[in-house]
Chain A
Amino acid sequence: MSSDIRFTDFKSDKQPTWCPGCGDFGTMNGMMKALAETGNDPDNTFVVAGIGCSGKIGTYMHSYALHGVHGRALPVGTGVKMARPDIEVMVAGGDGDGYSIGAGHFVHAVRRNVDMTYVVMDNRIYGLTKGQASPTSREDFETSTSPEGPKQPPVNPHALALASGATFIAQSFSSDALRHQEIVQQAVEHDGFGFVNVYSPCVTFNDVDTYDYFRDSLVDLKETDHDPSSREDAKDVILDSEQEHQGVIYQDEESVPYHEQHGVDEDMSVIPDGAPEGATDLVREFY
């Protein structure tokens, strides 16, 4: 069945309302291609989306999906995957969803290492609410709520992930379609929590972190001597404030995903017609 699946099968019949030129188009295309390439189909895929421009992705993709509340996409994905280890789970959200209101969940989802993929569409701005500073906005980025810039350093999501014990950390750029797809695909194939931060430029409200900026400044780790299996190398890349990178920053080849760690491997949707066999043992314990 999977060999017949094309990436367009993951497209819904709803036309995206993203601004023309929005980075999210490229981000979503890469996600759909990665899912098709890894042998998934819409009926065995569950996409969880947060709130914001990025959150609309669940509407534009075709699969089982839940468009949740702001910042809680990762817990939902965690629940789906634990109940249904047989289902491919992909969680998508923006920098506000993931690193501001949902930052607490991000840290713990990384620690749990549930076998799912987390794609953050990072445009360094709040777009849907029309241009306020986001947790990844630059210190001097002027917005309606930060006329002189936020005056606080941006969150470094990769550093947060590494410090939380991540087993897969990557960065891609929505406009570099092939590399973006390749990186998301590696995250899907990773045994554990595959985290990809995607630079997905906002053409309406962010005139600093533009396509041109990323095109000119990104260095592809594939073209360097970076060793993704080395935490030391990963640390150097992540803490390098002078240089933007794309590629797989860190991957732990020995990663043991949550379901193996905890022996959670059953399809929980299947239950008997009455109390489970041996349930009377529970009563006996109270003698």
Chain B
Amino acid sequence: MAADFNWAVGGEAGDGIDSTGKIFAQALSRAGRHVFTSKDFASRIRGGYTAYKVRTSVDKVQSVVDRLDVLIALTPRTIEENLDELHEGSVIIYDGERTTMQDVEIPDEMIGIDVPLKRLAEEAGGAIMRNVVALGAACEVADFPIENLDSALEKRFKDKGQKLVDNNKEAARAGQSYVAEEFDHEFDYDLETTDEDYVLLNGDEAIGMGAIAAGCRFYAGYPITPATDVMTYLTGRIERYGGHVVQAEDELSAINMALGAARGGARAMTATSGPGIDLMTETFGLIATSETPLVICNVMRSGPSTGMPTKQEQGDLNQMLYGGHGEVPRFVLAPTTIAECFWKTVEAFNLAEKYQLPVYITADLSMAVTEQTFTPETFDMDAVEIDRGFVVDESAIDDHMSESGGFQPHEITDDGISPRAFPGTADGAHMSTGLEHDEQGRRTEDTEMRVEQVDKRNRKVETAREREDWGPREFGDADADTLVITWGSNEGALAEAIEFLDDEGIDVRVLSVPYIFPRPDLSEDVAAAENVVVVECNEQGQFADLVEHDVLERVDRINKYNGVRFKADELAAEIRATLAAEVEA
């Protein structure tokens, strides 16, 4: 692959680090280069340390690496925080006239470029543009045509008037010329441009765009890092497509609003992170039992409790699989790339309505705040398909009535899927409830109906297993003895890691799994491999546990769930029957 270039801007929260980094990333993307960004940030509004990092190449980049070629450092701490990534010959751009930077020491093996960022910005029209001066300086160091920066500045500032755009362009040129004139140094970088068209977006944005594409009309949420961007993305956009966003008073309310909208017949969604899922779990059983289609997005962060709110972790897998009292059927999808965040969100809405149950779509902090370039065709809106499942209107409703003439939203069917009637459908009025219910949705504690309803709900999962494709994505060497399995956002890093290993002669087969439940049966793949490794961003190996579980020997099971406890004589008979079946087999 072509040489990659690693760049960062860092300073305190409040220094405009994010928008500076985004402008540079945008400039590279518009110049036809691939971009992969990452952020170091903290849970504070001002101060501390924050950085925006950009990796770019003319080839696809899908991971961060431990290397930094050019660093714009607004604070001494920015240099300290990145010493491990900086290397011999790395360039550090800083403003030696800034009080805090006057005594800064640039490591001997690196190249310090002292640019009076603030002074040059003031000359161009305002000190606020000092970061743009630094971007201009970076363009000169990296031999990146500054016209590409112009285009990104226009995108960023055009709503604020041409004057501001022009001032920023001038500021960038001031930085560029200063480096050209003051530093007699040949840098090794050459950021060539291509004619490719790319779009640049992060995981939260891809999820939001996927929701709109899928016909989601209602979103309710409560701000929480790192899921807030889903809500801010939808706000102001979903309205253009007839939808609405509500900022609820808490997550309890958010999920119940979404539930209400879904009962009204809308495609509805909420998004949150682990602490929000804790609260939403209260309503989870109700969603499943009332057979309401709902998409719940969990952008995971480091837990437990408040944990490390701005750090990466994939620790909520068990929570999503098992959260809630009682036994609750649900699907869990975990897109493995930013592009897949879009497509899996569309799929989540279809699955939710086809199987009338809650569907988790889970990303994690790294994917949520990471921007990556894709061709626009990656998000081909014409390829979006909508399947609303088994919805009946006035003409069909008579086929689903009880003997007493009531509509049956929980009709016992072979595939477990019952008819759905939206409010307003004549003769469709019915009750839904978190209580166990009969086919009409009326409360019951009848032992037989209880079992029939539990079985029916579980049958939907079996139907989905048969009807849908739950396969993993495979890459690497198909015949390798070593099988590496991963899920969620680790795919990009793994895809590049096996290239490093390949260079060393180590062959690896990779299965990247976007479906946690239902999930692919990997037992044959595991059996065929000599070494099996499961890669995930958590301590306990929650997905590894699932893989081990799936390949374990099966045991016989005696289960009872009609609301009555085991009785001794009955249990003896059940065990006898099980043993007899064993012998027969």
The 8 Å CB contact of B260, one of A42, A62, A77, A280, is: A77
Q: Is the CB of B253 within 8 A of A82?
A: no
Q: B152-177: which have CB < 8 Å to A?
A: 155
A273 to chain B: closest residue by CB: B386
For B290, list chain A residues within 8 Å (CB). 66
Q: How many A-B residue pairs have CB under 8 A?
A: 217
Are B266 and A87 in contact, with the CB atoms below 8 A?
Answer: no
A67 touches B261 (CB 8 A): no
Q: Are A83 and B264 closer than 8 Å at their CB atoms?
A: yes
- With a cutoff of 8 Å between Cβ atoms, the chain A residues found around residue B435 in the complex are 67
Interface residue? A84 (CB, 8 A): yes
Of the four ranges (under 10, 10 to 19, 20 to 34, 35 or more), the interface on chain A belongs to 35 or more
Query: A68–B286 contact, CB under 8 A?
Result: yes
Question: Would you give the 0/1 interface string for B414-428, flagging 1 where the beta carbon is closer than 8 Å to chain A?
Answer: 000000001111111
Of A44, A104, A263, the residue contacting B424 (CB under 8 A) is A44
In the docked arrangement, what's the CA distance between A276 and B215, Å? 7
Give the residues in chain A near B243, CB-CB below 8 Å. 268
Contacting B at CB under 8 A, from A132-189, are none
Q: Once the chains are docked, how many angstroms separate the CA of A42 from the CA of B405?
A: 14
Q: Which of B274-315 contact A (CB under 8 A)?
A: 282-283, 286, 290
Give every chain A residue within 8 A of B379 (Cβ-Cβ). Answer: 282-283
* Interface contact A80-B422, CB-CB below 8 Å: no
B218 touches A274 (CB 8 A): no
Q: In the docked arrangement, what's the CA distance between A58 and B155, Å?
A: 53
| Contact between chains at A83 and B268 (CB < 8 Å) | yes
A282 with B428: CB separation less than 8 A: no
Query: Which residues of chain B from 183 to 224 have any CB-CB distance to chain A below 8 Å in the complex?
Result: 197-201, 205, 209, 212-215, 217-218, 220
Take A66-B263, A83-B268, A283-B376 as given contacts and tell me if A274 and B201 are in contact as well, using a CB distance cutoff of 8 Å. no
Residue pair B423, A84 in contact (C-beta under 8 Å): yes
Inter-subunit contact A76/B250 (CB<8 Å): no
B218 close to A268 (CB less than 8 A): yes
What residue of chain A has the Cβ atom nearest to residue B379's Cβ? A283
A44-B423, A76-B259 given; A83·B431 CB < 8 A: no
Bound-state CA distance A87–B434 (Å) is 22
Give the residue of B212, B386, B424 whose beta carbon is less than 8 angstroms from that of A43. B424
Count of interface residues, chain B, beta-carbon cutoff 8 Å: 74
Contacts of A67 in B (CB 8 A): 431-435
Given A69-B434, A83-B261, A271-B267, residue A282 in contact with residue B376 (CB < 8 A)? no
Q: A83 with B218: in contact, given A43-B429, A104-B249 (CB under 8 Å)? A: yes
Asked if residues A271 and B426 are in contact (CB atoms below 8 Å), the reply is no
Which residues of B are found within 8 Å of A75, using beta-carbon distances? 220, 248, 252-254, 256-257, 260
Q: Does B98 contact A (CB under 8 A)?
A: no
A212 within 8 Å of B by Cβ?
no
Given A59-B431, A64-B428, A68-B256, the answer on whether A268 and B384 have CB atoms closer than 8 Å is no
| Chain A stretch 99-118: residues in CB contact (< 8 A) with chain B | 104-105, 107-108
**Could you list some 25 contacts between A and B, CB below 8 A?**
A63-B429, A64-B423, A65-B432, A66-B259, A66-B432, A66-B433, A67-B433, A68-B286, A69-B434, A74-B253, A76-B260, A79-B261, A80-B260, A80-B263, A81-B264, A83-B218, A83-B260, A83-B268, A86-B424, A104-B250, A268-B264, A269-B266, A279-B384, A284-B199, A286-B201
Known: A87-B423, A266-B217, A282-B212. 4 other contacts (CB 8 A): A58-B431, A79-B258, A269-B265, A275-B215
